[in-house]
Amino acid sequence: MRLIFLGPPGAGKGTQAQRVSQRLGIPHISTGDILRQAVADQTPLGQKAKSYMDRGDLVPDDLILGLVRERLQQDDAQSGWILDGFPRNLSQAQFLDTLLAEIHQTCDRAVNFTVPDDEIVQRLVARGRQDDKEETIRHRLMVYRQATAPLIEFYEQQSRLLCVDGSQEMDAVTEYLSQGLAA
Ligand code: ADP
């Protein structure tokens, strides 16, 4: 199974991705996690990405695309994967389509998690990560709406979209998602 998880920051994509990843035995690939690790390790990628992440802006595509290309070609990704936080704009989505065609893979579903803005801000302020200050959160939401939300339409047109109400309890979301993926 190859899945893309879409949704605003704080929608619970990461938590659900973790659960589905364990259940199906496929890797959870979070570009946010990969970037945060690169920042922590002070690699060249991390050094370039840090200021964008601190502001809540998207990291430039040229820093992300090669990383995704390499990750999807690793051994553990041959049986399936969950992409969490990628693609995040139209050009990343087009890149992914081209890459998948090239490596003879197709994505099965794009799952869109929805949560109202006020709930998102509450959740993220409570989470308290480095980039979870209220002002940065609002900026990330704006970036989401502008750059990422158009992908909902993109995957709907490909008839791959599954919508999930992310404002429910975590277990209810997992249940709904599992049923949706099995259908
Ligand atoms: P959240 O789910 O809270 O938005 P992520 O962990 O997915 O957090 O991403 C954190 C930050 O990492 C983003 O604000 C952005 O700066 C950067 N980032 C992650 N994935 C991408 C991507 N695909 N393209 C560009 N920037 C990204």
CATH number at residue 23: 3.40.50.300
Best substitution site from 6, 18, 132, 140 to test ligand 1's pocket, by max atoms within 8 Å of Cβ?
140
Residues with Cβ < 8 Å from 91, sequence gap 6 or more?
61
**In terms of residue numbers, what domain contains 62?**
2-182
Strands of the 109-114 sheet, one edge to the other: 28-30, 81-84, 2-6, 109-114, 161-165
Kindly report whether the peptide bond that precedes residue 9 is cis, defined as omega within 30 degrees of 0.
no
Residue 101: Cβ-neighbour burial (10 angstroms; 0-12, 13-18, 19+): exposed
Question: Averaged over 146-160, what is the pLDDT?
Answer: 97
What is the CA angle 96-17-135, rounded to 5?
85
Atom of ligand 1 nearest to the CA of 32: 6
Ligand 1 neighbourhood includes 11 CB (under 6 angstroms): no
Residue 130 predicted with pLDDT over 90: no
Query: What pLDDT, on a 0 to 100 scale, did the predictor assign at position 128?
Result: 87
Please state the domain count of the chain: 1
Atom of ligand 1 nearest to the CA of 143: 14
Per-residue pLDDT tens over the stretch 75-88: 999 999 999 999 99
Sign of CA dihedral 60, 50, 131, 22: positive
Atom of ligand 1 nearest to the CA of 84: 7
Distance 105 CA to ligand 1 centre (A): 24
Ligand 1 neighbourhood includes 64 CB (under 6 angstroms): yes
* Amino acid, res. 78: Q
Residues of the chain with pLDDT > 90: what percent? 96
Distance 24 CA to ligand 1 centre (A): 24
Residue 183 predicted with pLDDT over 90: no
Per-residue pLDDT tens over the stretch 105-116: 999 999 999 999
Best substitution site from 88, 124, 142, 148 to test ligand 1's pocket, by max atoms within 8 Å of Cβ?
88
Distance 32 CA to ligand 1 centre (A): 5
Reading the block at residue 57, the tokens are 């802006």
HEC profile of 46-83: HHHHHHHHHHCCCCCHHHHHHHHHHHHCCHHHCCCEEE
